[in-house]
Structure 1
Amino acid sequence: MTRGVLLFGAESSAAEDVVDAARDLGVSVHLATHPEVYDRYTDALKKKLAGTVFTDFRSPWTALEELELYCTTHGICGVLVGWEFLSPLATRLASRLGLPGHDADRADAVRNKRDMADLFGKYAVPSPWCIAATSLDAAVAGISAGRIAFPLVVKPAENAGSVGVAVIDSLDELPEAFKRAQRWSHEFPYGIALDTTVLVQEYLDGPEFSIETVAFEGAFDHLAITQKFTTGGGICEETGHTVPAQLDSAAQTSILDVVEQGLTALGVRNGVAHTELKVTPAGPRIIEVGARPPGGHIMKVVEHATGVSEARGYVQAAIGLRPDTRPLRTGAAAIRFISTAKHGVFNGLSGAHPVRGVVALQSYAAPGDRIGNDYERFTRIGHVIVRASSSAEANQLADDVVAGISVDLEN
């Protein structure tokens, strides 16, 4: 019988990379999702699937029973995550089946930032000072008791993608930020109920990075330290990433030491992890960790720079094979997002011409699509990925290409 894996959702930019990597390894992919969500997937993705199981992720314990039966019936030998909100359930299913995964007792902590902060505090993992509050009055009291200096970060405990996150400079700004953080009680597209607790954290000064890691039997192979670029202001949004980050060896060592402290505290054992941190004047401090593939096409950027497929390593770790993580080349790659702050009907991109070193230029929108929403300042229209011999060259090329592209919107 062909080995098979069960993929929880396919909403992330990395999901199809994982599906392709599994198929390249001769592993069939089965998908767990909702019927109405499945209908929105592309025909190209559907054709790559060996099977689909429909369950209701809004009832996690019932879903767990149904998916356990499906896996035992279909000989599933690995569990993967294609949508980060489903990672706790995937961890629990792998544990039930006796398959490689993470510590099921800490499954919620790699998704719920309140639980994550608690574990970081328990194990003295360098991370921001944090309070959790379910009411505005509790948040004000916590800030006053902690005597913490502004600016502060206000964020939901269980959302993703910077949704509901704000940086505030005074208590006067807290009510609006708190309301914003509690605005989303359910995730989309599955309708899973979210913890509406609000976290108030100290703002960390310093450059931001992400670390892409493949874990196998509790040991960690770090594929890349990625430089993260964001907008400024009270609501920071990602504008791109570059691999490798421009760091000296001492900085790299200190970053990876802190990352391993965090991954160990969270019980990460088999799979992949995406760790976000800042290098502050006091040293590296973790912002958060996701036990799932990174978003923002970071896996593609890592592979263009190093030749290592994080998706392949993820599948291998999930089915109990030692991952292939040896770098095949030394170079650099960068992604920059094509974004707009305007709302309107998309007509197309102009100035998007082929340039040497550009390996991908993609539009996410089709002519006629309506652009803009009420939870982002900037809407991503597409991206550019470039390769170069150094990070500095990749940064310059990516920034130049994006600067030459215009988004044509009609009101």
Structure 2
Amino acid sequence: MNKRIAVVGGRPSPIHGAKELGIDVVLVHQEGDYEQEILAHCEQVVHARIDDAEAIIKVLEPLHRDRPFDRIMTTTEVAGESTGKVVDHFGLTGVSYKTARLLKDKVAMRELLVEHNLSPVAYRHVTSAQDAVAFVKEHGKSVLKPAEGVASLHIHPCDDAASASKAWQALQDADVKHIIIEEYLEGPVVSVDSFSFKRRHLPIGYSQYRMNDKYVEWEVSTPSTEARKWLSELKEMTCRLLDAVELEEGPSHSEFVLTPKGPRVLESHARLAGSGAPELVRRAFGLDLNRMFLTVPLGIDTLPQVSPEPKAGAAIQFFVPTPGKVRKVELDLKPDVDVRHTKSGETPRVFLPFLFELGAAERAVVIQKHEGDTIPPLDTVADCVSGYVLATGTSREDAVRIGDELVAAVNFIVDPTA
């Protein structure tokens, strides 16, 4: 009999090929929030708010009674805690609510790291502007941000009383309730993508970023040149971190800042990374994290014993045209580039349309804006909606070079926003 799982949310949902693997998938999603093409890979779809554990339990309980699920999983940040509660409710193996909560709450995460003598970073849970000002006075340049923030939203560097007070007010205006301030970590940001099974953690890929002055990542590339210098430390820290949060199984994505004093934990997530990182890892390291998400917990595939060595380089770069109204998009691409366009007038239901279809393309371009569309300013990762390029090269540097060439061959002619 086939294995049976429930997958909560995902855009796109990483369940392509599930039927061929002998896995029956029940997708739990909000109506209208998933791509219709995913239905071919599902046993059925049930509708519920993916951040509401009680609603998810209500739709899954009768299905679980009829034929129990082997796993209930998610790979989207919004559903992390709710899915953890559902996993606990049904008594299944997976990412528990405790683990999901520790990873989401940056104050709880910093407290845990202190307990485990891991990645020392000065921080404070702040409840007033005076708290923030006092911290900056003690520690110098700092970062004030939501303790449960995502997508590089509402991050405010501050280095004196005036900037700390201004940052506090900005978070109040944005109705952010749970706030943390941390010492400013100077250095490049890198990440480690890992997979765990029975609490054995395997670091697999390591990537680096280019970002704008609002800390929004507009390029991901792997294997990271910056990370290689600290690779043994990064792998050890990743495993210690995942042990500390008691991650049982599944994918994880941990981000670090490479400071002059060594790597420091920035944040971590018990899910597949965003921005197409699993596809980059597949191209560069040869392991398919999307497939492993389905197969390793179910015993279909075995978690490798050792981390793979890179065999290529890969990069994804988002188009970041001038904000404004699009008059025209001009392409000057070579014939060997796989070019895809979303439908004019339609908003894709997934963050990276065509990603799974482009798996065999060494060079690909996806255009998501058309004549008359509006290009937003790049304030968060969610604003990376104009399209992207995907490249495989002989090394990370080669892939980045190819990506730059592809971006240069696409011209968004825009009437800038006033």
Is the TM-score greater than 0.5?
Answer: yes
1:86 shift after superposition: 0.9
The one-letter code sitting in structure 2 at the alignment partner of 1:156 is P
**1:306–1:183 CA distance, 2 compared to 1 (3 A):** farther
Residue 399 of structure 1 is aligned with which of 400, 404, 407? 404
| Secondary structure of the corresponding residue to residue 7 of structure 1 | strand
Q: State the partner residue of 1:409.
A: 414
**1:406–1:345 CA distance, 2 compared to 1 (3 A):** closer
1:127 shift after superposition: 4.8
The answer on 1:19 being equivalent to 2:24 is no
User: Could you list the per-position Cα deviations for residues 77-111 of structure 1 after superposition, in whole angstroms to 9, with x for gaps in the alignment?
Assistant: 11221421211222232233333213443331122
Q: State the partner residue of 2:39.
A: 46
CA distance in 2, matches of 1:352, 1:200: 46
The answer on 1:30 being equivalent to 2:35 is no
Contact 2:83 2:97 (8 Å CA) reproduced: no
Contact 1:340 1:407 (8 Å CA) reproduced: yes
**1:58–1:7 CA distance, 2 compared to 1 (3 A):** closer
**1:21–1:182 CA distance, 2 compared to 1 (3 A):** farther
Q: State the partner residue of 2:347.
A: none
Q: State the partner residue of 2:395.
A: 390
Contact 1:340 1:380 (8 Å CA) reproduced: no
Q: State the partner residue of 1:362.
A: 366
**1:170–1:254 CA distance, 2 compared to 1 (3 A):** same
The answer on 1:55 being equivalent to 2:59 is no
The one-letter code sitting in structure 1 at the alignment partner of 2:398 is E
**1:100–1:211 CA distance, 2 compared to 1 (3 A):** same
CA distance in 2, matches of 1:402, 1:226: 20
Q: State the partner residue of 1:319.
A: 298
- 1:10-409 alignment, distance < 5 Å: 10-11=10-11, 15-16=12-13, 18-34=14-30, 38-57=31-50, 59-61=52-54, 63-64=56-57, 66-144=59-137, 147-150=138-141, 152-182=142-172, 196-231=177-212, 233=213, 235-246=214-225, 251-325=230-304, 327=308, 330-345=311-326, 347-354=328-335, 358-372=362-376, 375-376=379-380, 379-409=384-414
The one-letter code sitting in structure 2 at the alignment partner of 1:138 is D
1:330 shift after superposition: 1.1
1:74 shift after superposition: 4.2
| Secondary structure of the corresponding residue to residue 10 of structure 2 | coil
**1:181–1:56 CA distance, 2 compared to 1 (3 A):** same
CA distance in 2, matches of 1:27, 1:153: 44
| Secondary structure of the corresponding residue to residue 279 of structure 2 | helix
RMSD of equivalent CA atoms: 2.8
The one-letter code sitting in structure 1 at the alignment partner of 2:24 is S
Q: State the partner residue of 1:191.
A: none
What is the TM-score with the length of structure 1 in the denominator? 0.85
User: Could you list the per-position Cα deviations for residues 156-204 of structure 1 after superposition, in whole angstroms to 9, with x for gaps in the alignment?
Assistant: 111211011132333322234334445555xxxxxxxxx7211111111
User: Could you list the per-position Cα deviations for residues 281-308 of structure 1 after superposition, in whole angstroms to 9, with x for gaps in the alignment?
Assistant: 1111110001111000011111111221
| Secondary structure of the corresponding residue to residue 117 of structure 2 | coil
User: Could you list the per-position Cα deviations for residues 218-261 of structure 1 after superposition, in whole angstroms to 9, with x for gaps in the alignment?
Assistant: 01111111122222x3x211121111112586621011111112
Q: State the partner residue of 2:349.
A: none
**1:349–1:31 CA distance, 2 compared to 1 (3 A):** farther
CA distance in 2, matches of 1:218, 1:300: 24
Contact 1:364 1:381 (8 Å CA) reproduced: yes
Which of structure 1's runs of 4+ aligned residues deviate more than 6 A?
none
**1:375–1:386 CA distance, 2 compared to 1 (3 A):** closer
Q: State the partner residue of 2:352.
A: none
Q: State the partner residue of 2:8.
A: 8
CA distance in 1, matches of 2:86, 2:48: 14
Contact 1:100 1:320 (8 Å CA) reproduced: no
What is the TM-score with the length of structure 2 in the denominator? 0.84
CA distance in 2, matches of 1:127, 1:70: 46
Q: Which sections of structure 1, spanning at least 5 residues, go unmatched?
A: 186-194
CA distance in 1, matches of 2:318, 2:158: 25
The size of the alignment, in residue pairs, is 390
Q: Which sections of structure 2, spanning at least 5 residues, go unmatched?
A: 338-360
**1:110–1:329 CA distance, 2 compared to 1 (3 A):** closer
1:374 shift after superposition: 8.4
| Secondary structure of the corresponding residue to residue 318 of structure 1 | coil
CA distance in 1, matches of 2:390, 2:211: 17
1:20 shift after superposition: 0.6
Q: State the partner residue of 2:358.
A: none
The one-letter code sitting in structure 1 at the alignment partner of 2:60 is L
1:327 shift after superposition: 4.8
